[in-house]
Amino acid sequence: MPLPFADKTRFIHLLEEDPDRKACVFLRPWRFGKTLLTDMLLSYYDRSLAESFDETFRGTSVHGHRTPLAGSLYCVRLDFSQVSGCTEQAKSSFTRELADALRDFTGRYPELGLPYSELKSGIYDEPAGLMKEFVTNFRSCSSGKERLFVIIDRYDHFANSILARNAGASKETASAAECPPGFIRQFYAFLKEAFGGVRGRPISRIFISGVSSVSLDSLISGFNIAANISNDPRFNAMAGLTREELSEIIDGTMDFRVLNGLAKEKTLQVMESRCGGYAFSFQACERIFNPDMCLSFLKELTSAKAMPESLLTESAGADTVRLEAILRLTAPQASEEITGRILRREEIPADPPAALSLRERGFLDYSQAVSLLMYLGYLTIAPQNEPGSGRVIYRCPNEACYQVFNRYAESRSGRKEIRRTDL
């Protein structure tokens, strides 16, 4: 079964209409469709792909309403999902992924990209040095009117890998990061220096996607040109699936005539309880479904021709490991309180979502942990929040997430504490 596809091109107009969003950060949990989103931005804006616009965007909301920037920018798409989670190898693998992305750019724009002979990661001491060499070359080879769009996917992947693998190493890395600015901070400092869209500063737009705002190396510390749109209600559904989008996917992929009397509406209700319930702003007007959970559910439904028994996806094991790592980084009393509230299915009051930094104290306090759990998809903002209250009410979004916490509790106690809720 193909990955669920939903038309998100309607958000392109929103991204362009506000000058403060020329550089922005967008955070969503794992497997929420952020890579597809960055692929869409590349396909829409890159000059080398302009001729295939009709074929690529036919049938989407933007097809007949393209913006002035469509097909007009020179896009550099960076994917840091393969950067090593080993602290000793992080810089070299970061530089290698950057070099690969710039090779792709040179393949599309030979006249503006760095020669391949200069795109060997081993000849640069720092990633920022490679990026500076690229931008300097771009400036010298262009007329001064060409504009770069830097698209960064999974900017925080390696940091989250360290977080999940070794909480102790995370604390050590975090505390060491306050010594002279790390290679990642230098990289983003250069992006800021080259940003502006004017002669000498050719980067006119930046889009950064990731999972969380926790940073082991102050990942984008000082990168104050970027607007964090993660909790903006207008972008609540820019990744993930709305109920209407999921309904359309079901119509296009499922034949209920061969599903032993199952009805579409009942299927949607069950999926809402198991896969839905996400909101990333208390002002959000609708709840979002996790696409990966939906895919697993529909695959099993098609195969068994019956409602899936398991609430958990194939990635549940990794989810439990990550949850355990986060709670190990949390002050013990706060960890116990958060876990207890969730297992009792209680609401969780805490501060609004915020950027986090382990280097401040070496562990997460109650509100920091709740905020991080929301960004990672274990919690969500509850619908009963009141604007201006100064506090946010969180809750577990769905039964599948409850079961991840249940598995965590079982691993600690060695016995089952809560039975799965029958749906």
179/254 same-domain check = no
Q: Considering the domain boundaries, does residue 2 fall inside one?
A: no
Cα–Cα distance for residue pair 396/153, rounded to 1 Å = 26
Q: Considering the domain boundaries, does residue 416 fall inside one?
A: yes
Residue among 405, 412, 411 at smallest CA distance from 420: 405
Q: Considering the domain boundaries, does residue 4 fall inside one?
A: no
Binning pLDDT at 50, 70 and 90, where does residue 224 land? confident
Q: Is the pLDDT of residue 176 over 60?
A: no
17/163 same-domain check = yes
* Type of residue numbered 222: G
- Any idea what DSSP says for residue 213? S
Q: Cα–Cα–Cα angle for 176, 177, 182, nearest 5°? A: 130
Q: Tell me which of 169, 203, 235 is where a domain ends.
A: 235
Q: What is the DSSP string of 23-60?
A: EEEEE--TTSSHHHHHHHHHHHHBGGGGGGHHHHHTTS
Q: Considering the domain boundaries, does residue 165 fall inside one?
A: yes
Q: Tell me which of 235, 258, 285 is where a domain ends.
A: 235
Question: What is the reported pLDDT for 385?
Answer: 67
Cα–Cα distance for residue pair 47/147, rounded to 1 Å = 10
Count of domains for the chain = 2
136/259 same-domain check = no
29/176 same-domain check = yes
Q: Considering the domain boundaries, does residue 1 fall inside one?
A: no
Record the pTM: 0.89
Q: Is the pLDDT of residue 420 over 50?
A: no
Cα–Cα distance for residue pair 33/92, rounded to 1 Å = 27
220/267 same-domain check = no
223/316 same-domain check = no
SS3 289: strand
Q: Considering the domain boundaries, does residue 3 fall inside one?
A: no
Radius of gyration over alpha carbons of the chain, in Å? 22
Given a contact cutoff of 8 angstroms between Cβ atoms, the answer to whether 283 and 387 are in contact is yes
- The stretch 247-270 carries a mean pLDDT of 89
**Domain coverage including residue 355:** 240-423
Q: Is the pLDDT of residue 288 over 90?
A: yes
- The stretch 76-98 carries a mean pLDDT of 87
276/134 same-domain check = no
Q: Is the pLDDT of residue 102 over 90?
A: yes
- The stretch 13-35 carries a mean pLDDT of 91
Range name among 23-37, 136-150, 405-419 with the lowest pLDDT average? 405-419
* Type of residue numbered 161: S
272/156 same-domain check = no
Q: Tell me which of 235, 267, 296 is where a domain ends.
A: 235
29/171 same-domain check = yes
Question: What is the reported pLDDT for 313?
Answer: 62
251/338 same-domain check = yes
311/348 same-domain check = yes
Binning pLDDT at 50, 70 and 90, where does residue 268 land? very high
For residue 148, what are the β-bridge partners? 74, 203
Binning pLDDT at 50, 70 and 90, where does residue 418 land? very low
301/170 same-domain check = no
